[in-house]
Structure 1
Amino acid sequence: MAYIRRGAQKAIVRALQSVGGTASRDDIKSIIAEDDGSGFTHDDVYGTVISRKGNEYIPFNYDFNFAMRELSVIDYIEKSFRGGKVTLTEQGRADSLSDFPNKAQKQAIREYWDHTKALREAKSGSNNANDQTSLGGNDDESTDDAQDVTDTWKTELLASLKKFSPTKFERFSRLLISQMGVKIDAKMGMVVSGDHGIDGFGYFQSDEFRTSRVAIQSKRYSDAPVGEPEIDKFKGVMDGFNAEYGIFITTSYYTDGAKKKAVQGAKSVTLIDGPGIVKLVERYQLHISPVQTFELDDYYFEQD
């Protein structure tokens, strides 16, 4: 089903309220994707489409980025992000969201976008500047207000991972997990896909010098989620390797049944989904290079 453009303000506030008022942008999206009451499904939040220019992008990021601006306008989130975190204001924390956004808030948002349109026209020197608000406009990725450079590379990364061969994704998974502190076993850690049902094996030493045996399973899926039967099967295979816990990594996501199965019993399985992979690649700077740039803000285009 095609993604339907809609406001994400309430879903963002709801997500932040659920974790005490502060979270990263990526964590907010993850909470929204898993929240049955958010109004957005996992596919809504992370699904990609191909633009008219042939580029792959995530339509939800438009609504998310617009909503973040709008929440700042009505003072529901703090304007400065400390440590990359988004924080609710006192007003945002206290609102029951029963009448949100209300009439006055909608008016403030409309006035903000009208002002933004005027600045855009002054910046471009044309009266034909594209006017796009959080609930309107075209579906392409070219609108400045919708673009978040931090989203672009993440979309490209996940799309590339989904195109890996199964063997290359297994190698990538072992590389990533080794960056997380797991020492891959020189013999058992290089298990070929299909052999014994695991894709890697290693050891993790905690700060208390306790060493645990870790089994690794990786599934490169384009869209289909990992379900409970696959987690159940992996847990059974873990016993054959005497593993104390497991790590299951996939480019897609996990069903609710899979998440429950992962934490049942004496041995748990850590689940890493597509967005989780992206976070880890960013954290460990794995085959990525940081790029810094600057953009003029509205100050330079406002009229005296």
Structure 2
Amino acid sequence: MAEYKRRRVEKAILMALRDLGGSASRKVIRKMIADNQYDNLTYNDVFLTKQGKNGSYSPFMFDFNFGIRNLASIAMVEQLQRGKDVVLTSAGMHVDLTSFPTKRQQKKMDDYWQERSGLRKKRLAKQQISATSSVTADESDKEDTDNSNWKAELINQLMKFDPGKFESFSRLLISKMGVLIDKNRGIVRSGDHGIDGFGYFTSDEFRTSRVAIQCKRYSDNAVSEPEIDKFKGVMDGFNAEYGIFITTSHFTSNAKQKATQGSNTVTLIDGQALADLVEKYELHITPITTYTLDDYYYQDN
């Protein structure tokens, strides 16, 4: 299992935002960084999970949250708002990344954290809350981190499934997405015919398509082009118009290109997209509703 080494990620965030048009959610920024390996950050760096006392967590999130707030402190991104996209400023769009951060920029970042630490101590004293609370997390950071952590735990558990259970899980998810699984042809083990499921999808125009399903439980390894090519060959044997390839890891760039070539295209679902779909369809998860106080209650007099 690869290890993540703590590092600065401000450059990668700026590069991602520039290519995303200047505005994106935190989740989309992380995915963009991972897919394009900005500033030498790999997919495994961004989405590596570790087991802590309270469950799984992503080490990258610490550096990511620091980076976002550092950029806000020097006006490279607009003032952060809870639940809103991160928005690049004109300064962030045009700053020279070869010398970033400059000594002056670094001094402003350090001053921001020093001031923030002082305000937090005053707030903790007023509320008589333990001073062990993190000085790095505001409510937006916490929500984003909590969401990332339970999805990291989900992927870790999926990787512990035996092949049969993971294939069954994948078929269940695909059926929730509107694919009618063929009970005769659709429940075949991968060792039999090279696919893990088969079914039918009817679009809004009442056009029914044949769908082949493939799933792989990987940790560090990415799904490569030859695996997509092999799957497409099996799809032809089932006369499938398109396929769905699910993995707990991710896909190489060549695999992504191969998936869209030819007449029988393949929809790729990596670990992060998989977790998002589990959330969307609430597949064996329990939503929890809670409340947090916004900044109105913490304005200093």
- Shorter-normalised TM-score: what interval? 0.7 to 0.9
1:42 aligns with 2:43: yes
Q: Equivalent residue for 1:97?
A: 97
**Which segments of 5 or more consecutive residues in structure 1 lack a partner in the other structure?**
135-142
How do 1:67-146 residues align onto structure 2 when only pairs under 5 Å count?
A: 67-79=67-79, 84-125=84-125, 129=131
Q: Distance in 1 between matches of 2:13 and 2:101?
A: 12
Is contact 2:56–2:149 with CA below 8 Å preserved after alignment? no
Q: Equivalent residue for 1:137?
A: none
TM-score (normalised: structure 2)? 0.86
Report the more deviating stretch, 177-186 or 75-84: 75-84
Q: Equivalent residue for 2:253?
A: 256
What is the CA-CA distance between 1:35 and the residue it aligns to?
1.5
Is contact 1:33–1:41 with CA below 8 Å preserved after alignment? yes
Change (3 A) 1:42 1:252: same
Which of 248, 260, 285 is the aligned partner of 1:288?
285
TM-score (normalised: structure 1)? 0.85
**Which segments of 5 or more consecutive residues in structure 2 lack a partner in the other structure?**
none
1:276 aligns with 2:273: yes
How do 1:187-206 residues align onto structure 2 when only pairs under 5 Å count?
A: 187-206=184-203
Is contact 2:116–2:135 with CA below 8 Å preserved after alignment? no
Which of 163, 172, 182 is the aligned partner of 2:179?
182
Q: Distance in 2 between matches of 1:117 and 1:262?
A: 49
What is the CA-CA distance between 1:214 and the residue it aligns to?
0.8
Report the more deviating stretch, 208-217 or 186-195: 186-195
How do 1:217-256 residues align onto structure 2 when only pairs under 5 Å count?
A: 217-256=214-253
Per-residue CA deviation, residues 53-83 of structure 1 (Å, 9 max, x unaligned), is 3743211011111112222222333335586
Q: Distance in 1 between matches of 2:181 and 2:24?
A: 32
Q: Distance in 2 between matches of 1:174 and 1:84?
A: 34
Letter of the 1:39 partner, please give it. N
Is contact 1:81–1:87 with CA below 8 Å preserved after alignment? no
Change (3 A) 1:54 1:85: closer
Change (3 A) 1:114 1:234: same
Is contact 1:117–1:129 with CA below 8 Å preserved after alignment? no
What is the CA-CA distance between 1:155 and the residue it aligns to?
1.3
Identical aligned pairs, as a percentage? 53
Report the more deviating stretch, 165-174 or 79-88: 79-88
Per-residue CA deviation, residues 198-224 of structure 1 (Å, 9 max, x unaligned), is 111111222222221110001112222
Q: Distance in 2 between matches of 1:271 and 1:183?
A: 19
What is the CA-CA distance between 1:10 and the residue it aligns to?
1.5
1:216 aligns with 2:213: yes
Q: Equivalent residue for 2:157?
A: 160
Q: Distance in 2 between matches of 1:265 and 1:164?
A: 33
